[in-house]
Structure 1
């Protein structure tokens, strides 16, 4: 079990992780990319409810945190795809744990 033991560094590391993944969409985008490379429109379809503007902003943030990679292909017109990095895949256990927690507590979460 993780304990802080009075160590502010533990709390700081959790704060840093939450800042890198903050918001409603980042983990959903990473989950979508964990199954393979995607183009912008594919991501927009898979991450239901996200606007193009928000998706663009979140992709830039994930790229800045080195969780995803953006690749521009030399085609005409240029095509761009996104992939999850090894750094991003290191969150696989976190995404899996959230998935199972959500399944186990769905009734409490949705209030039924």
Structure 2
């Protein structure tokens, strides 16, 4: 399994709105098209964490392919009032908000 973690800023009062947007989005086939197997959203002291799990290490490529889908464009726009870049000076795309894994352990 492969995971990505996006880090941004979010006011806790927006958690219900953000969850609702993803709840609606996740009922479409688009997450499956992107290879998403699980999505978890977290909030901690003004920070937003968006964890996605994929079966394969090509989730980024599949997400890039889906970016032109109207539903992807719509959720990206709908999230803007609630989610802001962690560092607005350096943010150009979600890739700029990806945390980088530096350790991984599994009980096999």
Superposition TM-score, scaled by structure 2 size: 0.28
Q: Whose radius of gyration is greater, 1 or 2?
A: 1
Higher RCO (CA 8 Å, separation ≥ 6 residues): 2
Superposition TM-score, scaled by structure 1 size: 0.27
Which is strand-richer, 1 or 2? 2
Which is helix-richer, 1 or 2? 1
